[in-house]
Amino acid sequence: MYIIKKGLSIILGSFFVAIGVNVFITPYQILDGGVIGLALILHYIYHWQIGLMLILLSIPIFMIAWYKYRSYFFNSLHGLLISSFIIDLLKPLETSLRMFQIDGVVSAILGGFFVGLGIGIMLRHDTSTGGTDLLAQFISDKTKVNVGIIIFFIDSAVVLLGGIFLSTSTLLLSIITILVVGFTTSVVTIKKGIT
């Protein structure tokens, strides 16, 4: 039963992350933080696939996990692969839903909510999309600081980097997004008592 719940949480969480990224974040060139943010920067500049970049950028973190935190490696590998696949699978939503133009700030809030919800659901079931979520989980275990707060600080660094390479507008909207991602992830994970 636990394995089924975990599998469903990965699929549901990945679906929410993919909706947040493809429907609300990429149309305005908004960034999330962490590895997703780095993958988005590469997507905006070089038009590379977001999911594929997620996998490639996560390799160093997964190598650390393999040697230091083997359980995290196994718990997050499926989350990374499935979320990357679903993000790329649902990429056509970006163009097909453009007719429903919404304000950039609203899009940043909704994108952050969906991404935070997806990440939080996976973290509640001891899995994640890997990348900096996995890194944040390592740090959280060592420091006992809420994982959502750690993700917020990592995300801030990536968004500042993106603001340099992209635009001021990207930076401002991305700040809103990571605040919402951090808050939503914290709320979803705190209910289980993840600290």
Question: How does pLDDT run across 113-126, given as a tens digit for each residue?
Answer: 999 999 999 988 88
How many angstroms from the chain centroid is the CA of residue 131? 9
pLDDT > 90: percent of the chain:
41
The predicted model gives 62-73 an average pLDDT of: 80
Residue 108's pLDDT is what?
95
C-alpha atoms less than 13 angstroms from C-alpha of 81 in its C-beta half-sphere:
8
Q: Rounded distance, CA 161 to CA 178, Å?
A: 14
**Residue 11 burial by Cβ neighbours in a 10 Å radius (0-12, 13-18, 19+):** middle
Two structure tokens written together for 76: 């997050």
Task: List the alpha helices (DSSP H) in the chain.
Answer: 2-19, 34-46, 50-68, 70-89, 93-96, 104-124, 131-143, 147-165, 168-190
Q: What is the mean pLDDT of the chain?
A: 86
The least confident of 5-9, 36-40, 59-63, 73-77 is 73-77
CA angle 87, 116, 79 (to 5 degrees): 50
Residue 191's pLDDT is what?
58
The predicted model gives 34-59 an average pLDDT of: 93
Q: Is the pLDDT of residue 47 over 90?
A: yes
C-alpha atoms less than 13 angstroms from C-alpha of 3 in its C-beta half-sphere:
1
Q: What distance, in Å, lies between the first and last C-alpha atoms of the chain?
A: 25
Q: Which of 58, 1, 52, 40 is nearest to 181 (CA)?
A: 40
The predicted model gives 48-74 an average pLDDT of: 87
Determine if the pTM surpasses 0.75: yes
Which DSSP state fits 90?
Answer: T
Which DSSP state fits 28?
Answer: G
Say what the alpha-carbon torsion angle 2, 119, 185, 193 is, to the nearest 10 degrees: 20
**Are residues 115 and 36 in contact, defined by beta-carbon separation less than 8 angstroms?**
yes
Q: Is the pLDDT of residue 107 over 50?
A: yes
